[in-house]
A and B are shown apart, each in its own frame.
Chain A
Amino acid sequence: GAVVSQHPSWVICKSGTSVKIECRSLDFQATTMFWYRQFPKQSLMLMATSNEGSKATYEQGVEKDKFLINHASLTLSTLTVTSAHPEDSSFYICSSIPGGYNSPLHFGNGTRLTVT
């Protein structure tokens, strides 16, 4: 089946530093990549939708200058958390729809970010 590879699986960084999370589609072309964030015991929250070759669409309340999304190729999308702070500590997950609109989402395995 379609595979979305996400890394790193976990990262610990100091406050003020930037962290890049990568998601690669291994056996399909990911025209669209969805980025989610999940805090403990809460539901997945969509942060942004990125389309290859164009600017990402951010959900209300998500700072586009803080969460930089790049989707320069059909197999790679990245999320960079800039100037991370402890409140950015969360579980970040990417996903895509390999089979078209009516097909299920395939998720990366997530990145657990801890900012100290």
Chain B
Amino acid sequence: GAGVSQSPRYKVAKRGQDVALRCDPISGHVSLFWYQQALGQGPEFLTYFQNEAQLDKSGLPSDRFFAERPEGSVSTLKIQRTQQEDSAVYLCASSPFRQRANQPQHFGDGTRLSIL
């Protein structure tokens, strides 16, 4: 079936604007993760959903970052009042869920966000 789909692929915004990034996980995947990847670095965890419940948001860098997954499928990452340091690639990953056994996470192509 289809992989993880993210949109838009590229987003340019002026400092101070709000942006919304969308993730369509693999159908049936219960777990959904957002990561931030700065240029030349590994992805860094932002937040995790199991179905519609946000179980871990410890990686969100500030209260300007907000994520939701209201129906347990599509997720949106919103960044308010963007700043230049928010420029990065935002990756979404999904995985099935098995009790007490981490499952492989499958990534989307990401959204490359550039703040001017």
Asked whether A and B interact, the reply is no
Hey, which bits of chain A sit against chain B, CB under 8 A? none
Hey, which bits of chain B sit against chain A, CB under 8 A? none
